[in-house]
Amino acid sequence: MTDIEMLKREVKALVFDQYGTVVDMQGGLTDVVREYFQEKGSDIDPSRFVTWWRRTHFENSMIDSLCARGHTPYREIGHRAVDFTLERAGIPHTSEEVQMLVSEIEKLKPFPEVPAALERLGARYRMAILSNGDRDMLEAAKPHIGFPFDDTISVQEAGAFKPHVQTYETAASILKLDRSSILFVANHTFDVVGAKSFGMRTAFINRRHRPFGQTPHMPDIVVENIGELAEMVA
């Protein structure tokens, strides 16, 4: 069992995944796709479409990292993923429509409890983002999140997508902190495993109430949302 009091004494910074952890990616993009499908006259379930879009994007980003032939921008992989998913769904579309859908990622809103929880956590810890998003996408998203993170780090700095070890190593280097003094916070199992295997402390935000799975790299903290995390460590 994690010693929370010891963790609070030793942790200096909280580093958050952005998409799906701080901002509601599934819900926000589902709303956008619902409106888009209404204009197209499609009766495809928009939430299911977004799930396939995100799965395709994740698969393509992992292929990009494993091939190690240079980092492809998040936006470019997003365009490929949306184009493929629309084609698979049989929906005629233009490249402008693909670009519009991907651009909506920059406008996603935080989960309801997030702003107050971040303020509370920020009173005690250095606060940072580590995201697979491109630098300019993360910059554009800042006004929609509404919390001034101390650091916003794109994996472009590392040249690979999370959970590549270089992404967490780069974040620790930029923050100038020992890995064990960082608590990494994410809604995604793969991201928590990546950070934990690098040596960071980790918190799993289990919004979907799903099992974490068997791995040598279990999270130090499991909570339902970031508000609950703030109650525990702020």
Which domains, ranges and CATH numbers included, belong to the chain?
Answer: 4-24+108-233 (3.40.50.1000), 25-107 (1.10.150.240)
What is the residue type of 188? H
Percent of residues, the chain, with pLDDT higher than 90: 99
Q: Is residue 221 within 8 Å of 49, Cβ to Cβ?
A: no
Nearest to 10 by CA among 180, 220, 129, 177: 180
Residue 5: its H or E element: helix 4-10
Estimate to the nearest angstrom the gap between the alpha carbon of 101 and the chain centroid.
Answer: 18
Banded model confidence at residue 2, pLDDT cuts 50, 70, 90: confident
Query: For 154-180, what is each residue's pLDDT tens digit?
Result: 999 999 999 999 999 999 999 999 999
pTM for the structure as a whole: 0.96
Structure tokens at 185: 């916070």
Nearest to 195 by CA among 111, 122, 110, 130: 130
pLDDT at 229: 98
pLDDT at 105: 98
Query: For 69-97, what is each residue's pLDDT tens digit?
Result: 999 999 999 999 999 999 999 999 999 99
Query: For 103-127, what is each residue's pLDDT tens digit?
Result: 999 999 999 999 999 999 999 999 9
User: Has residue 1 got a pLDDT over 90?
Assistant: no
Percent of residues, the chain, with pLDDT higher than 70: 100
User: Has residue 102 got a pLDDT over 90?
Assistant: yes
pLDDT at 33: 98
pLDDT at 190: 97
pLDDT at 159: 96
Q: Is the dihedral of CA 48, 15, 78, 56 positive or negative?
A: negative
Length of the chain measured in residues: 234
- Dist. CA 46–CA 41, nearest whole Å: 12
For residue 228, the cross-strand partners are none
Query: For 183-202, what is each residue's pLDDT tens digit?
Result: 999 999 999 999 999 999 99
What is the residue type of 125? Y
- Dist. CA 112–CA 125, nearest whole Å: 21
